[in-house]
């Protein structure tokens, strides 16, 4: 389950301490109400790699209501994640509606995203993926 709003803020604002591979964070938790918030900004890594983050958070229900995550290098999009449903694509059914857009034809080439969830923080998974797949660091 998603932590409380203060717990989530702590997670976000200590990411650089937890993951030394993050060189810079512009992530901001914007409180929109006592249990509603938005997360917006980016995490920057070496080799000009950036994780762009947007989340719509509902702590009363303990869920990420919507999200968008994009990974870029030198301003070029490498891949992105979103939960836009594609019910007619049976290859995505295992992780419906979570999926990843990848090359080639990044807009239309989608693969399942088993590491993403609406009810737990996605940032640790995304950071570990970048560390392993793009930076060549151990998980």
pTM score of the predicted model: 0.93
Average pLDDT over every residue of 7-22: 97
pLDDT at 3 over 70: yes
pLDDT by residue (tens digit) across 97-135? 988 999 988 888 889 999 999 999 999 999 999 999 999
The rounded distance, in Å, linking the Cα atoms of 116 and 122 is: 6
Average pLDDT over every residue of 70-74: 97
Evaluate whether 89 touches 110 at the Cβ level (below 8 Å). Answer: yes
CB atoms within 10 A of CB 7: 12
User: Dihedral angle at the C-alpha atoms of 8, 6, 53, 33, nearest 10 degrees?
Assistant: 130
CB atoms within 10 A of CB 94: 11
Evaluate whether 77 touches 71 at the Cβ level (below 8 Å). Answer: yes
CB atoms within 10 A of CB 23: 14
- What integer pLDDT is reported at residue 86 of this predicted model? 75
- What integer pLDDT is reported at residue 49 of this predicted model? 98
């Amino acid at each position: 389950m998603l932590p409380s709003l203060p717990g989530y803020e702590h997670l976000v604002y200590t990411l650089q301490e937890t993951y030394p591979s993050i060189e810079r964070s512009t992530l901001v938790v914007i409180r929109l109400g006592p249990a509603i918030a938005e997360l917006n900004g980016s995490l920057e890594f070496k080799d000009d790699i950036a994780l762009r983050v947007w989340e719509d958070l509902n702590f009363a229900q303990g869920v990420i209501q919507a999200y968008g995550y994009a990974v870029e290098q030198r301003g070029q999009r490498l891949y992105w994640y979103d939960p836009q449903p594609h019910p007619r694509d049976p290859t995505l059914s295992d992780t419906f509606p979570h999926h990843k857009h990848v090359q080639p034809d990044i807009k239309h080439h989608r693969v399942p995203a088993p590491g993403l969830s609406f009810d737990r923080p996605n940032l640790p998974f995304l950071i570990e993926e970048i560390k392993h797949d793009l930076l060549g660091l151990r998980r």
